[in-house]
Structure 1
Amino acid sequence: MAMLALDIGATKFAAAVVDPHYALHGVRRVAAASDDPWAACRDLLVTVAGDNEVSAVGIGSAGPVDVPAGVIEPLNLAAWREGFPIVEHVRALFPDAVVRLAIDGACLVLAEHRVGGLRGVDNGLALTVSSGVGGGIIADGRVVVGRTGNAGHIGHIVVPGDDTACPCGGFGCVEAVASGMSSVRWARARGWVGDTGVELASAAHDGDPIALAAMARAGTALGQGISSAAALLDVDRVVISGGFAHSGEPLWGPLRAAVARHARLDFIRELTVELSTLSEGATLVGAGVLAVEAAARGRSD
């Protein structure tokens, strides 16, 4: 019997077999199909499962989500923006499997808490900074999920003094300022020539002034959001993953400076912010945690 992990992101889908120790095997990734996302997910899951019977599937998805209803509404995936019953479709594909759904931020913090930088931490925050900005919360040793499963949406904390439009419909959200995609758009509007966050980070390391300004803007927004969330939640450790988080000092220097400036209350003065050490993709690892722990209970939520 196999347990599967599925990560539904804004630009790619990933799946793997997960073992009882949360290790991933046979990881496969495909581009997020804009015309028929379910076909891409279905084929990916079937390929990863192979000839194995499937006992459990953990799904981590970009949000918003409606966990009780088993529905996802990813902001950056137009075909599913109005809602897609992912749990129903996965159950139809694997009728004997236990299926669990969580927002990507909850999967992220599960992964960090079980095998990453939040092991042994009862109160912490995990972020992913990539094409979007997501987050998850550990409070008193438990993942905070909220009423609909969307707790931890740090990407939609509002940055002071910024009115950049966000895909959520609001303005000035951390995601609209600090994600890789948003930073690229901001830099291109000011004359930088490039297409990806990786290219932007490379240009910043080479001293390009527009790229450096874009990175400083993103890092400052992240530091402000982290400081606000740390004070709200009374946490002392934050772990950040995601492709854009690996941009190095042009991003992390302004981020640390913003934390030093804003995290001034006594109970968060020792706040630490670290880069994740999980290499396979923390959301996919967290989806694997969902599958393993659901299989152990023998039921779905």
Structure 2
Amino acid sequence: MQLYSEYYVSPKAERFVNKIWCLDNSIGESLIENKLVLPNGCFNLAFITGNSIEVHTSKMKYEMGEGIYFCSQMTNKVLVNMQPKTKVIILQFHTWTLSMFSKYDLSDFLDSIIKINTEELPFKTQIDSDIESLLNTINIYFEELSGLHSEKNVIEKICEIIKSQEEEISVSEISRDLKLSQRLLQIKFKTATGLTIKKYIQIMKFRKSVDQMVNSDLEKLKLTDVALYNKYFDQSHFIKKFKDVTKTTPKMFDPKSYFLSHKR
């Protein structure tokens, strides 16, 4: 049995949904302990069936039994312990997706998890839906949403500008590009994501560095190269920022301890 697996939505739905990932210990007889997840700028919706998982964020410990849980933006690594006979299907939304639903103010919701009801979801599905059914539901709903919102909103535009830059970009530069005040951009982004724009930029830079480390031969790719390629001041600056999130150094980082995205 494969514990971690990934599934991808249709090209149109991918505008809003990064992927679906699954942690499957449903036929396991033992506890999966001390697995780690890194922040990546996405929101997550977790469908838990079977027994339970225990999740430690930087704020608190969550005991999550069968149900649906909404996970905010995370700013530090998250520790996961998973009981036997448990399965978790996780729907991963892009940073801007929830800003399409104006009733949500997430400005104070960070490093946190809440349990929700199926009635609160904008699409109809069940807690115990299989991957294929969930993929079909998600594709239909978000393809239609994409058609209804052909114009990108300001949160999506901000994220698009940040991701498209080779050099690290400042809020003032984003403000000039979008012809909107820095204050307005900051308020809108914080309300929609819980993050400041600067913090989002830091998270995306960090994940890019980790992906580069994991998918490269570290014997050939020196930490200085990773640091400079990802626009850290120097190796020391990179190590400090890396420790802020993972509580370990890049050289002591063990990818096997983490649930990391598959290379696409």
TM-score by length of 2: 0.30
